[in-house]
Amino acid sequence: MEKEEKKGLLLTAMFPKKIVLFSNPPLSASQSTIYRLAYNYITSSPDKKLIWVSSDQPADKVPAIFKEFGFNIDKYKDRILFVDIVTSGAGVKTLGKKEEGVHYIESPNNMVEITMTLADLFDDKAVGLAVIDSINGMLAFNGAEQVTRFLRFLPVIAVRTDTTILVNYVQGQYEKSMENALQVTADASLMADDGDLLIKTRTGMEKIANR
């Protein structure tokens, strides 16, 4: 059932020009959180664009996942810029493929290509939020050192382009030290807690309604 369009938690207002890490267990209801936050943003910011970096699912599957969680983004797709990292890695030919709003990464294990593609998209002044779903997918194609090096540049990008960047990390696949390394770069971390969101920053912790 599609949810009503009503104002919810707006991440870009809470954390402007910041890196926010969302950490969650696999196959849990909390995975809807990043979709809800992206939906809140795109429906509340009619003059803004969203970047969605998809490294776990092909870009053309993402709108269906939004719908599974009750969020229909069909009428907002003209303001969503998808970066598809996984399709070419599966052996599907994307070279020269044209699809409105979708940017295909030809070599998912080439962090330079990924970085350059994102740099071009971040130059769009209308972009206010970027979602990386997930960092696990990037780690599957690239070494931990390459990915953490890429993450080190995100705070600079966020400030320079006036963009909030939400990074999704699925727990359990990698050692705890990887999650700790991600938190070093982040300005805040989010975790679902019994229907609420637990927000941890450098100055403290608070719980707010996850809506």
Written as one letter, the residue type at 55 is: S
1 in any annotated domain: no
In a domain, residue 4? The reply is: no
For the residues of 2-37, what is the DSSP string, one character each? PPP------HHHHSTT-EEEEEE-TT-GGGHHHHHH
Cβ–Cβ under 8 Å, residues 161 and 21: no
Q: What is the reported pLDDT for 89?
A: 61
Q: What CATH number does the domain containing 49 carry?
A: 3.40.50.300
Domain with 21 in it: 16-209
- Quick one: DSSP state of residue 205? E
Q: Quick one: which of 193, 195, 188, 131 has its CA closest to 163? A: 131
Q: Is residue 8 a part of any domain in this protein?
A: no
Q: What is the pLDDT along the chain (211 residues), one digit of tens a residue?
A: 444 444 568 899 999 999 999 999 887 888 899 999 999 999 999 999 999 999 999 999 999 999 999 999 999 999 999 999 988 765 565 555 556 789 999 888 899 999 999 999 999 999 999 999 999 999 998 988 899 889 989 999 999 999 999 999 999 888 888 888 888 889 999 998 877 889 999 899 998 887 7
In a domain, residue 87? The reply is yes
Q: Where are the alpha helices (DSSP H) in the chain?
A: 11-14, 32-44, 62-68, 111-122, 135-141, 144-161, 176-185
pLDDT at residue 199 in the model:
92
Residue 201 lies in a domain: yes
Strands of 164-170's sheet in order across: 102-104, 80-84, 49-54, 127-133, 164-170, 19-24, 188-193, 196-201, 204-209
How far is 52 from 193, CA to CA, in rounded Å? Answer: 25
Cβ atoms < 10 Å from Cβ of 2: 10
- How far is residue 138's CA from residue 116's CA, in Å, rounded to a whole number? 15
Q: Decide if 112 is inside a domain.
A: yes
pLDDT of residue 97: 57
Q: Is residue 22, in this structure, part of any structural domain at all?
A: yes
Tell me if 9 is assigned to some domain.
no
Tally of domains in the chain: 1
Whole-number pLDDT of residue 75: 95
pLDDT recorded at residue 30: 87
**Token pair 């493929």 in the structure block, residue:** 97
